[in-house]
Amino acid sequence: MGYFIEVEPNVNLYVEDVNPGSCKTIVFIHGWPANHRMFEYQFDQLPAMGYRCIGIDLRGFGNSDKPWRGYDYDQSADDIRCVVDALGLENFVLGGHSTGGGIVIRYMARHNGYGVAKLALFAAAAPSLIQRPYFPHGLRKEDVDKMIQDTLNDRPKMLRGFGDMFFFQYVSQPFSDWFFQLGLQAAGWSTAAVANSWLDEERLFADLEAICVPTLILHGIHDRVCLFPLAIAQHEGIKNSKLVPFKYSGHGLFYDQRDKFNKELVQFVEE
């Protein structure tokens, strides 16, 4: 079932809630510039295994409202808290992909992990998506600047290029077209604003230290967006974390190795 939850006046987020009768809940936070539908191949399988799967379209993306402002990590974390409160969620697993991974880390620090029993990071954009003087492992700032300009000048072309570097395994043209449409559902201004937030977001280094729940880190070794050294930094920075490299995956490990992805996630939930 799908519904809208108000997170501030005149701003509503779309939430997909599958198998709401289950007491085993996994909340999925999508990456840039897609929406909750990127987890289709998890939502196809996990509810049949007894899990409640909740997908949230972040503001500016998917079916959620697209206000002009509010695209920093703090606001996104606060939006998630509003959904958690509205649904009365407790003892759930919180998972985030790419930028969504950075946002769930911010949620853990900013809201003291409210309601979260376990954390799962999927190719997370943390502790920094871009290279910094003290962190050489991310993308070059110039490449992100270009991505932002391409978003504002020719967003469909930018999305095609981004999709081409997203997966490591072969994807069919129809699948590529479907994934492209996920990005088009976002607003251009929100797509650019979130990308711009990567440049200034440095607090995730400290946020990692605030995580005190068991944490699963799934990351493709061929990831060209969030490079694999980011996963190593996450593992080193989060106590009680487990890193599982995906040898045949890029940034889209939830599809590249979907069976392994689902198996590792379920095993982690049940531990």
Provide the annotated active-site residues: 98, 223, 251
132-156 burial code (b ≥16 CB/10 A, e <16)? eeeeebbbeeeebeebbebbeeebe
**Dist. CA 71–CA 93, nearest whole Å:** 24
**CA 43 remoteness from chain centre:** 15
**Dist. CA 231–CA 235, nearest whole Å:** 6
- Here the tokens at position 17 are 């809630």
**Dist. CA 218–CA 234, nearest whole Å:** 11
Residue indicated by tokens 């997370």 = 124
- Here the tokens at position 42 are 């998890």
| CA distance to 3, 178, 264, per residue, from 143 (Å) | 37, 25, 32
- Here the tokens at position 128 are 């920094």
